Amino acid sequence: MQEPQAALTAAAEAMRALADETRLHLLQVLVRQPLCVCDLASEVGVSQPLVSHHLKTLKGAGLVACRHEGARVYYAVRTEAFRDLGLESLWRPGALLGPPAEEA
């Protein structure tokens, strides 16, 4: 279990990461399935460097995880991070992000 101050710091960092429309759009896409940067850029309609920048922020806040597959890196939402923050309501059907693929 985290120390109270560390938990507050982590929560503040996650909230800052969520306070951006492009990052929320990336999460909306990633909640359906893990994707690489090039597919995310195409899906969201922004450049690959911008997607990479936003993913770095989301990963730093612990909201997404990545896995390497050959030359590509696939990103996925860490639903447990949202539950830890008390934001599991974002996953309800019809909510901002909708249910994760494994729960759909």
pLDDT at 74 over 50: yes
**Prediction pTM value:** 0.84
Tens of pLDDT, residues 25-59: 999 899 889 999 999 999 999 999 999 999 999 99
pLDDT at 103 over 70: no
Residue 77's CB is within 10 A of a number of other CB atoms, namely: 25
Give me the pLDDT at residue 53, please. Answer: 97
Residue 35's CB is within 10 A of a number of other CB atoms, namely: 20
66 or 2, higher pLDDT: 66
Q: Which helix (H) or strand (E) holds 64?
A: strand 64-69
Residues 6+ positions from 52 with CB-CB distance below 8 Å: 37
Say whether domain 4-97 belongs to CATH 3.40.50.720: no
Q: Token pair for residue 87?
A: 């934001």
Please give the C-alpha separations between residue 42 and each of 7, 35, 46, 50, 86, in angstroms, as whole numbers.
35, 11, 7, 12, 31
